[in-house]
Amino acid sequence: MMARSSIFILGCSVALGAHAVADTIGNDGPATGSGRPNVVLVVADDLGWNDVGFHGAEIKTPRLDALARTSVVLNQFYVFPTCSPTRAALLTGRNPSRFGILGPLGLDPKTSLPLETVTLADCLNDAGYATGHVGKWHLGPTFDFGPRRQGFQSAYGYLHGQIDQFKHHYKTLDKSWFRDDEFIEEPGHATDLLANEAARFIEQHREQPFFLYLCFSVPHYPLQEYDVWIQPYEKTIEHKDRRLNAAAVTHMDDAIGRVLDTLDRTGVRKQTLVIFTSDNGGQKDWLATDYRGEHGPNERLGDNRPLRDWKGSVYEGGIRVPALVHWQGQLKPSVCNSVLCATDIFPTVAGLIGKPLGSELKPDGADIWAALTDEKARDDHPIYWNTGAQKAVRVGDWKLVESRRGGTTELFDLRTDPFETRDQAADQPDRVETLRQQLRQLLADDPRQ
């Protein structure tokens, strides 16, 4: 395999004028906070707004609830309507539509995250971090476009968008479970295997700064759980499919607890920034029977209440998710109401390690450390979404939604109407036009579809 640094320099020679990695992410400077933290970025798959205990759900998430009590809980954290776009945003700091990624990536390698893209893993590699991907990738269907080609020194998990939790193959029955650049077979539930690998990575790299990108496979379909996780909900959740979803979330919560315990046991918790999010809102149901009929259909899965709509939508239920940021001794427990986005993670981490992003990378996100520390609210930075079928922009309290189906344009004041029940487009044509122009400007750099 060609070294990532060589791939990076060759790939950027055209797009960035052959800048070296250090040039594109800025010069070394004083880090914000206390030293350069380890970074653990945890991503749940299809976890809805009302699927965690700290949002009042009936699902038990004791480890996440305890973590939330000692964290900055992000009350208005936005991702993208489906999985691949959010993962691209987290790793690049750019809107996924910049790469033509408007929805879940399929099996065509041509739609993968471009290899010349500068990722968060590249940035941390250059800063001397150990970088490890554990779990779902879904930014390229082959090893040629896998984690090890995007800056990760080690990689373990699965390539595709979903996985049989025990057999570890994709819905097409293609192999998907891998270590580094080889498919492997091993027994066990995916949630447990990913937690075990995350713990091993922390143990192995406890003596140096590290970046762990941990992406769970649940509560995405197909859901397969042991009775020990299902039984606690037999009397509290009536619908069997919702019970299964709850069991998967509680199982994941326990796995996250094991990772946190490893940080404590190795003595690195105080040196570790922990970020938790979901990749999109909850999935309403899954009515297909994939895997040759082995799984599904499921009539009721996630819960985004009281937000509107589901995964795949640019309404709040599809894009506003449970999220928190934890750094023991550095971040005070609080609720952050600033409007933040997945594209902000890369610039913020880069700033913390003293390597702020250069303009050559064209980040859509920004360093949000001030918002996390209550130094400065951040509510006016525009965020936009492009799924092809829908486009939306939020600036301040106002959100414009354009839907191709029916040709509708809607306007919502999220301060007074966070559940998007009152369309004000007809009453505020000037505001609609202003937001429409801002959306067009943001979309101008997206490739034509």
Each residue of 357-374: pLDDT tens digit?
888 889 999 999 999 998
Do residues 300 and 207 both lie within one domain? yes
pLDDT given at position 39: 98
Instruction: Give yes or no for residue 17 having a pLDDT over 60.
Output: no
Instruction: Give yes or no for residue 30 having a pLDDT over 60.
Output: no
Would you call 153 helix, strand, or coil by DSSP?
A: coil
- The answer to whether the CB of 209 falls within 8 A of the CB of 130 is yes
Percent of the chain with pLDDT over 90: 87
Q: Quick one: pLDDT band at residue 379, thresholds 50, 70, 90?
A: low
Dihedrals phi, psi of 211, to nearest 5 degrees? -125, 115
Instruction: Give yes or no for residue 397 having a pLDDT over 90.
Output: yes
Do residues 251 and 144 both lie within one domain? yes
Do residues 306 and 436 both lie within one domain? no
Do residues 173 and 220 both lie within one domain? yes
Please compute the mean of the pLDDT values over residues 162-183 and round it to a whole number: 97
- How does strand 130-136 pair with strand 340-341? unpaired
pLDDT given at position 448: 76
pLDDT given at position 394: 98
Q: Quick one: pLDDT band at residue 431, thresholds 50, 70, 90?
A: very high
Do residues 35 and 87 both lie within one domain? yes
Do residues 367 and 422 both lie within one domain? no
Is 427 part of a structural domain of the chain? yes
Do residues 159 and 245 both lie within one domain? yes
CATH at residue 87: 3.40.720.10
Q: Which residues of 372-397 are buried (b: 16+ CB within 10 A; e: fewer)?
A: bbeeeebeebbbbbbbeebbbbbbee
Q: Quick one: pLDDT band at residue 449, thresholds 50, 70, 90?
A: low
H/E element holding 215? strand 210-215
Q: Quick one: pLDDT band at residue 375, thresholds 50, 70, 90?
A: low
Do residues 22 and 157 both lie within one domain? yes
Please compute the mean of the pLDDT values over residues 242-257 and round it to a whole number: 98
pLDDT given at position 11: 31
The average confidence (pLDDT) of the chain is: 92
Look-up of token digits 């009302």: 50
Do residues 287 and 147 both lie within one domain? yes
Active site residues: 83, 138
User: Measuring CA to CA, which residue among 113, 55, 92, 6 is closest to residue 304?
Assistant: 55
Q: How many domains does the chain have?
A: 2
Do residues 368 and 402 both lie within one domain? no
Boundary (domain end) residue, out of 343, 372, 401:
372
Q: Quick one: pLDDT band at residue 405, thresholds 50, 70, 90?
A: confident
- The domain of 252 spans 4-372
pLDDT given at position 51: 98
Taking the C-alpha atoms of residue 275 and residue 215, their distance in angstroms, rounded to an integer, is 12
Please compute the mean of the pLDDT values over residues 245-273 and round it to a whole number: 98
